Structure 1
């Protein structure tokens, strides 16, 4: 299982996660146009053995994920992928657990969080709404549709590369496409960690939320959600 970490203006949390993962799996970091300010952190990631890929300009999380998936499919054929955020939200032990689940089952696995006290209000409301809409659109109950901690079996990589969406909407489009294709989606409970009210997130509450809800609402009303 290969670890895929898309980053934009990464902090010290990236080398911390790589250090905690140790030699469990090769890691691919995709720098999504972080600029000169990201150089020191990315150098630290290389020193820890990670492969670092670059986008010259910011293209969005979905584009970064597809860049990493394409590289992994070519460099490590036959290996599954576990995607994680490197902003301090995902613990190495949870990354391992989600990866292990997919290795054992051969199914998509999501690391899902609890949204109780201590979680920022916007996150509780946003995740509750998207989970309800996703269930209405697909009939599937997924408590945490916006998690970035996901594992995919190797045979899904070509399929993942064909799913559109350059921003945060890509991850929602993956779930909708999985539901349409009949790919099982399993969930694994993981720790809920928000640092400084999730200040490290680059998710825009207005612009990115609109992109996430567009394919979700299209799926709910039976429209074609394939285009951005």
Structure 2
């Protein structure tokens, strides 16, 4: 059933915004025209421009932050404020086309809990960021055991009840897309990707993402969520590397000095301890999900 019809699953559209009044003035009228029954929420993350007046003129819900708390904090505020069964998150800077929300919703109607708009190479802000995102996608795909087509895309539709399960894990800054993607995959909730056409940012606006600082943060988030949901994916390769190094060093010292050295013993012991830590972490994770499911 189309989301524009009465009786369809309720829809909330959340737009985190920090000084994006120009973008909102273009995006909000299109959203209201396409989805007159949707709940449109602009989370004003400490803006100093005329975001408030734009929201008032368009008669949408504005939830203000008293100061800038970050993109992730704005998304969390929007999820808590939303009442729709389905929540669409999108940027307020004009990069995401309201007309493509229908692509996400149509895909969700086939049984998915989250659908993400996947950008092509031309949709990346720069060549460096495109290469970084390709690395993140590969690493995240290995961590969760599924293909991650676009880890950092902020254009996505989610079942609100599912997203709220992980809201405490979302960072206040960047990147909430990374966390939600990996959490949904590792929790076993079906995730799909659809191709989207990302527009250029409006003239005079700049991205709030800092390449190096936020890039390292993305990597830490990947490892954090991976450790939380699949610890052996982290611990086992480290243990195997230490064991292989210890074996190689032992063979070298045995052939050259006919000795088993303390260094070999340390490497073997470290490999065993890390492997056992991984097993214990895996059991803790299993128990955590067992409690959550009520079994």
User: Structure 2 length as normaliser, TM-score?
Assistant: 0.67
CA distance in 1, matches of 2:205, 2:174: 17
Q: How does 1:141-180 map to 2 (within 5 A)?
A: 141-180=147-186
Question: Residue 131 and residue 4 in structure 1: after superposition, are their counterparts in 2 closer, same or farther (change >3 A)?
Answer: same
How far is the alpha carbon of 1:123 from its aligned partner?
A: 2.5
Look up the match of 2:64.
54
Deviations 1:155-184 (A, max 9, x none): 314214232311113221111211221111
Alignment partner for residue 107 of structure 2, among 101, 104, 109? 101
Question: Conserved in 1, the CA contact under 8 Å of 2:123 and 2:198?
Answer: no
- Count matched residues: 217
Higher normalized helix content (fraction of residues):
2
User: Structure 1 length as normaliser, TM-score?
Assistant: 0.86
Question: Conserved in 2, the CA contact under 8 Å of 1:4 and 1:68?
Answer: yes
Runs of 4+ in 1 over 4 A off after TM superposition: 116-119, 196-199
2:115 aligned counterpart, secondary structure = strand
Are 1:33 and 2:57 matched, yes or no?
no
Alignment partner for residue 44 of structure 1, among 54, 58, 71? 54
Larger Rg: 1 or 2? 2
CA distance in 2, matches of 1:118, 1:148: 12
1:98 aligned counterpart, secondary structure = helix
Question: Residue 198 and residue 119 in structure 1: after superposition, are their counterparts in 2 closer, same or farther (change >3 A)?
Answer: farther
Are 1:67 and 2:77 matched, yes or no?
yes
Alignment partner for residue 15 of structure 1, among 16, 19, 25? 25
Question: Conserved in 2, the CA contact under 8 Å of 1:7 and 1:30?
Answer: yes
2:68 aligned counterpart, secondary structure = coil
Look up the match of 2:13.
3
How far is the alpha carbon of 1:146 from its aligned partner?
A: 0.7
Question: Residue 49 and residue 196 in structure 1: after superposition, are their counterparts in 2 closer, same or farther (change >3 A)?
Answer: closer
Are 1:188 and 2:194 matched, yes or no?
yes
Larger relative contact order (Cα-Cα within 8 Å, sequence gap ≥ 6): 1
2:169 aligned counterpart, secondary structure = coil
CA distance in 2, matches of 1:136, 1:97: 27
Question: Conserved in 1, the CA contact under 8 Å of 2:79 and 2:160?
Answer: no
